[in-house]
């Protein structure tokens, strides 16, 4: 059994997901639970998105994409003047009769979801992918931005019947903003496409991998400098794109690494999953307080992982010696590579520990079925519908 209407509020650009090959099956309809899915986008870039390109993310549901764009003044410093935008959104969306509201995030689009939820008298779920009390506050404009959006965060999280953080370190933030019920469900991975790593003998040359959106908070410059200073016999594939991409390309040229570093702006997730086991080490840099989907995929494969420590406090997911944790410095990455590239037994131990940690503790391979159960429960669907949704995701 399946049925009902799920209304999804997002701030991400669907066009970016299409361009990056991250159109993940049923992402916006866990377990193919709903017959109808409406995605409400608040960015102007998706005004002409072809819904057929996004359809797999809604499963077999009828998909509608609605543009309700935030005015520029709102997306900069006009946070106190969005009531008209919110009111118009409620007037437009409530007549569509959603059965469940889902907001991916808790900024202005989350606030709109909260207003629709209350006006329609239906439950609401909010997914959280960051700790917005500490993340993205590295400059004065971003700090001001973080202060101005607190009103939206609190309305979103206090309204939500269920808040789903994608990692445990988000819980204190959700509680501080007023979340009433919290269930951690890690980012879903495509376990069926991932190949378990069996051979830990080093490739010749060693094959290194980094996967990240290329933004200041995920800047891999110290990884690149460590490769140049260490003079390792290796190649590095850098998968991702973003605003600092051109600077990274210039750095690679300056360091004389052009023959050893390959930039891959986009690769379909299924292809990344199929190839990941063929690498020797995953290297990552991230100053958000969480663990990326790419790290979960690498851990499930059994790939040795090197990640930087977070400040001011270590995050829970990086504990228990299942990866190499370093300072985000040239010396930190150089030391980790020196150890890993010279010790097959260490690579195997870390790879096996990573696989066990991700499979048994984080359980991202169960992410879709776990979300489907929570969605069915929150929407008030029957136990039979929940069971059907769980089996649909397997």
Residue 95 has pLDDT above 70, yes or no: yes
Specify the CATH number of the domain 191-362.
Answer: 3.40.50.2000
Find tokens 């929407």 and name the residue. 379
pLDDT reported for residue 44:
83
Query: Mean pLDDT lowest for which of 37-51, 98-112, 131-145?
Result: 131-145
pTM value? 0.90
| 138 confidence band (pLDDT: 50, 70, 90) | low
Q: What is the pLDDT of residues 250-306, one digit of tens each?
A: 999 999 999 999 999 999 999 999 999 999 999 999 998 889 999 999 999 999 999
pLDDT reported for residue 392:
45
Q: Cα angle vertex 200, ends 195, 204, to 5°?
A: 105
Coil/strand/helix, residue 127: strand
Residue 350 to residue 214: CA distance in whole angstroms? 26
More confident residue, 2 or 317: 317
Are 157 and 130 contacting, i.e. CB atoms less than 8 angstroms apart?
no
Residue 136 has pLDDT above 80, yes or no: no
Contacts 24+ apart (CB under 8 A), 141-146: 144/77
Region 64-86: what's the mean pLDDT? 75
Residue 377 has pLDDT above 80, yes or no: yes
| 386 confidence band (pLDDT: 50, 70, 90) | very low
Residue 41 to residue 10: CA distance in whole angstroms? 5
CB half-sphere exposure, 307, CA atoms < 13 A: 31
pLDDT reported for residue 78:
53
Give residues with Cβ within 8 angstroms of 110, minimum separation 6: 9, 103, 126, 152, 153, 155, 156, 157
| 147 confidence band (pLDDT: 50, 70, 90) | confident
Q: How is the beta sheet containing 162-165 ordered, strand by strand?
A: 62-67, 36-41, 5-10, 100-104, 124-128, 162-165
Residue 76 has pLDDT above 90, yes or no: no
Q: What is the pLDDT of residues 101-111, one digit of tens each?
A: 999 999 999 99
- Which CATH architecture describes the domain 5-186+364-392? 3-Layer(aba) Sandwich (3.40)
> Tokens standing for 376?
């069915």
pLDDT reported for residue 72:
65
Q: What is the pLDDT of residues 24-40, one digit of tens each?
A: 999 999 999 999 999 99
pLDDT reported for residue 320:
87
Residue 227 has pLDDT above 90, yes or no: yes
Q: What is the pLDDT of residues 176-215, one digit of tens each?
A: 999 999 999 999 999 999 999 999 999 999 999 999 999 9
Establish whether the linkage from the previous residue to 205 is cis, with ω within 30° of 0. Answer: yes
Residue 74 has pLDDT above 80, yes or no: no
Find tokens 């840099």 and name the residue. 285
> What average pLDDT is seen over the chain?
91
Residue 382 has pLDDT above 50, yes or no: no
Residue 276 to residue 295: CA distance in whole angstroms? 11
Domain with CATH 3.40.50.2000 in the chain: 5-186+364-392, 191-362
Select from 118, 292, 99, 89 the least CA-distant residue to 210.
292
Residue 242 to residue 218: CA distance in whole angstroms? 10
| 73 confidence band (pLDDT: 50, 70, 90) | low
């Amino acid at each position: 059994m399946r049925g009902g209407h799920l209304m999804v509020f997002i701030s991400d650009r669907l066009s970016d997901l299409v361009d990056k090959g991250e159109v993940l099956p049923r992402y916006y309809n866990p377990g193919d639970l709903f017959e109808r899915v409406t995605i409400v986008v608040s960015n102007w870039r998706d005004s002409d998105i072809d819904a057929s390109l996004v359809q797999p993310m809604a499963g077999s549901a009828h998909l509608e994409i609605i543009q309700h764009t935030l005015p520029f003044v709102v997306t900069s410093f006009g946070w106190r003047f969005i009531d008209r935008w919110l009111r118009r959104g409620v007037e437009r969306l409530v007549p569509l009769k959603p059965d469940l509201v889902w907001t991916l995030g808790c900024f202005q689009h989350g606030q709109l979801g909260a207003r629709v939820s209350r006006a329609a008298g239906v439950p609401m779920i909010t997914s959280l992918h960051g700790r917005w009390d500490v993340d993205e506050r590295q400059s004065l404009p971003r700090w001001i931005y973080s202060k101005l959006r607190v009103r939206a965060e609190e309305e979103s999280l206090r309204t939500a019947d269920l808040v789903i953080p994608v990692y445990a370190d988000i819980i204190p933030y959700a509680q501080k903003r007023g979340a009433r019920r919290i269930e951690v469900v890690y980012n879903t991975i495509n376990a069926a496409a991932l190949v378990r790593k069996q051979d830990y003998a080093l490739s010749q040359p060693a094959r290194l991998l980094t996967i990240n959106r290329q933004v200041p908070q995920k800047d891999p410059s110290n990884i690149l400098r460590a490769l140049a200073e260490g003079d390792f016999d290796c190649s590095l594939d850098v998968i991702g794109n973003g605003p600092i991409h051109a600077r990274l390309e210039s750095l690679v040229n300056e360091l004389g690494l052009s023959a050893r570093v390959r930039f891959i702006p986009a690769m379909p997730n299924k292809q990344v999953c199929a190839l990941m086991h063929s690498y020797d080490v995953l290297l990552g840099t991230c100053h958000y307080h969480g663990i990326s989907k790419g790290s979960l995929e690498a851990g499930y494969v059994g790939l040795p992982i090197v990640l930087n420590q977070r400040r001011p406090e270590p995050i829970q997911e990086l504990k228990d010696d299942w990866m190499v944790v370093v300072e985000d410095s040239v010396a930190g990455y150089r030391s980790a590579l020196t150890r890993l590239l010279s010790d097959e037994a260490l690579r195997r131990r870390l790879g096996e520990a990573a696989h066990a940690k991700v499979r048994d503790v984080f359980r991202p391979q169960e992410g879709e079925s776990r979300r489907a159960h929570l969605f069915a429960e929150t929407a008030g669907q029957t136990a039979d519908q929940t069971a059907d949704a769980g089996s649909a995701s397997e």
